[in-house]
Amino acid sequence: MQNSMILCVDDDAESLNALKTGLEQRGYAVTTASSGPDAIAQLKSVTPSLVITDLKMEPMNGFELYERVRKDPLLHDVPFFFLTAVDDFLARKYSSFLGVDVYITKPVDLEMLDRAIRSKLKLS
């Protein structure tokens, strides 16, 4: 998809594999991380077009991952999506306050996610 590489982060292997498969079927290159620290390690050598992460993870949750990534000047402008089972007003509000680009709740509608990715990455 026009060199668009997406980093997906989730500590639930089944959810992560389903997301990866769904995005690859839509033409995206996808790399995965099973935790926040794993994602941070990968981001030292890879700059994705977009990051999609779960919120509820251990030992680093999605908010912590977002804040760590935003401190890196090379990654500061990479779009960030939260894809989470947390359907909570305060979590959404805090995400907006932080500057998270998109907040989507699980179960994911892959067509809606694809539209959000295309819009954010300005793909046709």
- Domain ranges in the chain are 5-121
Task: Kindly write down the DSSP assignment for every residue of the chain, as one continuous string.
Answer: -TT-EEEEE-S-HHHHHHHHHHHHHTT-EEEEESSHHHHHHHHTT---SEEEE-SS-SSS-HHHHHHHHHTSTTTTTS-EEEEES---HHHHHHHHHHT-SEEEESSP-HHHHHHHHHHHHT--
pLDDT-derived band at 103, boundaries 50, 70, 90: very high
Q: Which of the two residues, 124 and 69, has the higher pLDDT score? A: 69
Average pLDDT over residues 28-57: 96
Q: CB–CB of 14/56 below 8 Å?
A: no
Q: Which CATH architecture has domain 5-121?
A: 3-Layer(aba) Sandwich (3.40)
Q: Which of the two residues, 33 and 3, has the higher pLDDT score? A: 33
pTM above 0.85, yes or no: yes
- Summary mean pLDDT of the chain: 94
pLDDT of residue 124: 65
pLDDT of residue 4: 83
Angle in degrees, CA 5, 20, 98, rounded to 5: 65
Residue 3 has pLDDT above 80, yes or no: no
